[in-house]
Amino acid sequence: MLWIKAFHIVFVASWFAGLFYLPRIFVNLAMVPPGSIAEQERLLLMARKLARFTTILMVPAVALGLWLWLGYGIGLNPQAGWMNAKLLLVLVTMGYHHWCMRHLKQFETGDAHHSHVWYRWFNELPVLLMVGVVVLVVVKPF
């Protein structure tokens, strides 16, 4: 189980690295001056590649997490409140990941309507999610 846990941590860290950087590309896309087609296309290419890679990293992170969850037999129970909260944050993180993909599609179609300041705040959400998950796993406050 320690090998599974080790690879789970590696894939989760890698997944979050993508979630940290993809919205940063959105900040740059929102700042592209009108008519700068080459700059916009270069940033979109970077965002597409990172989005694809981040999605690929999410799959083993979640799969290995499920393996650990089932392997340790924690399940959903009142004695493992920290795990229930962690699972909720994992679902929120997956929703955030999906939200990033929607924003990428909006940039691709020219329908993005948020400012670079909005994307800067949007970029902070995965940091808060990761802090929450790490505190729950390490401290197990409840």
In the predicted model, what is the mean pLDDT of residues 17-22? 98
Is the pTM higher than 0.85? The answer reads yes
Enumerate long-range contacts of 45-53, CB under 8 Å, 24 or more apart: 47/22, 47/104, 47/107, 48/104, 48/108, 50/18, 50/21, 50/22, 50/25, 51/18, 51/22, 51/100, 51/101, 51/104, 53/18
The 10s digit of each residue's pLDDT in 76-132 is 666 788 988 999 999 999 999 999 999 999 999 999 999 999 999 999 999 999 999
